[in-house]
Amino acid sequence: MRILVLSKSVPDLVEELALDEDNGELLHDDMTYVPSEWDDHALEEALLLKEEVGAEVTVLAVDTGDVDNMLFTALAKGADHAVKLTGDFDLATSNRKRAQAIANYLRDNTFDLVLSGVQAIDDIDGQIPAIVAGLLEWPHASVVTEVSIQGEQIHFRQEYGGGLQAEFSAQAPLVLGIQAARKPPRYASIAKVRQMMKSSTVDEIDASADTVPELEIRRFFKPVAAGHAEMIEGDPEEVADRIITILKERKLVRG
């Protein structure tokens, strides 16, 4: 079983987002980028499968700048190979274009299972796994948890509203958007990442992509503050009285 894990970097939300408010553009160079959390879960699920059935795990990133550290971290966690798709890409490159490059790579290289984070904080649209599957005409599922490999069959679960769960099975090749791994993503120690930088290489593959139909982002806005929270101060009695008054004012309690 050969598994490809897709990874991308996203702005670190601990730091403030850098936005040019005049023209509504994100200032990518002024922000710190970190691996997308959902992709970390996809990698963890792949590594768990590797431990269970001996799959071979390759991690892939589109070269949007500084992705090497992310790839070496994945190698330090236990991925077998790392691939970087180089070409005309940067941090603003659309998911559509990234997906095209990944699909092209998958046409030339044989994989049974593609795992990706279901979405990323900078798109929240979950497009990449879906578009990749669409371009390749492979089966695809999103918001997946608990992947397992049983012989030729790949089993996985999806959660629905109301706590309902469904279990699926599919034949390879298959693309899955991972919501959460079975275990929290493992830690990669700094020393091990450094050791990987010395002992392993990232395969660079030229993936100059075709022209693809894309949406154009017109501008970004910062959220507009609406309303204020009222801090209720005083001793417990006063606070309780105030809460009751508010609830009565809003007609949330009778009496």
Chain-centroid distance, C-alpha 37: 6
- Residue of the chain from 16, 52, 88, 241 that contacts another protein (CB under 8 A): 16
Q: Does 186 bind another protein (CB under 8 A)?
A: yes
Nearest to 109 by CA among 148, 152, 56: 56
* Residue 32 or 171 with smaller CB distance to another protein: 32
Q: Are 99 and 128 in contact (CB under 8 A)?
A: yes
**Residue 4 contacts residue 111 (beta carbons within 8 Å):** yes
What is each CA distance from 9 to 24, 27, 36, 233, 241, in whole angstroms? Answer: 21, 15, 5, 43, 49
- In the list 30, 92, 187, 240, the residue contacting another protein (rule: CB under 8 A) is 187
Measure the CA–CA gap between 104 and 138, rounded to whole angstroms: 13
Considering the complex, state which of residue 48 and residue 154 has its C-beta at the smaller distance from another protein. 48
> CB of 61 within 8 A of CB of 84?
yes
Residue 81 pairs in a beta bridge with 58
Whether residue 202 contacts residue 72, with contact meaning beta carbons closer than 8 Å, is answered with yes
231 belongs to the binding site for another protein (CB under 8 A): no
Question: Residue 199 in contact with residue 188, Cβ under 8 Å?
Answer: no
Answer for the pair 71, 7: CB distance below 8 angstroms, yes or no: yes
CB-wise, 34 or 91, nearer to another protein?
Answer: 34
- Contact of 18 with 31, CB cutoff 8 Å: yes
> Is 17 one of the binding residues for another protein (CB under 8 A)?
no
Verify binding: residue 164, another protein, rule CB under 8 A: no
Q: With respect to another protein, which residue has the nearer C-beta, 193 or 212?
A: 193
Identify residues 68-87 at the interface with another protein (CB under 8 A): 77-78
Q: Near another protein by CB under 8 A, which window of 48-56, 188-196, 207-215, 238-246?
A: 188-196
Task: Tell me the number of residues near another protein by CB under 8 A.
Answer: 18
Q: Which of 20, 184, 201, 240 binds another protein (CB under 8 A)?
A: 184
Cα separation, 1 vs 188, whole angstroms: 24
- Closest to another protein by CB, 16 or 88: 16
Segment contacting another protein by CB under 8 A, of 18-26, 89-97, 183-191, 247-255: 183-191
Least distance between another protein and beta carbon 12 (Å): 6
Q: Could you tell me the smallest distance in angstroms from the CB atom of residue 239 to another protein?
A: 19
Binding residues for another protein, per CB under 8 A? 12, 14-16, 32, 34, 77-78, 184, 186-194
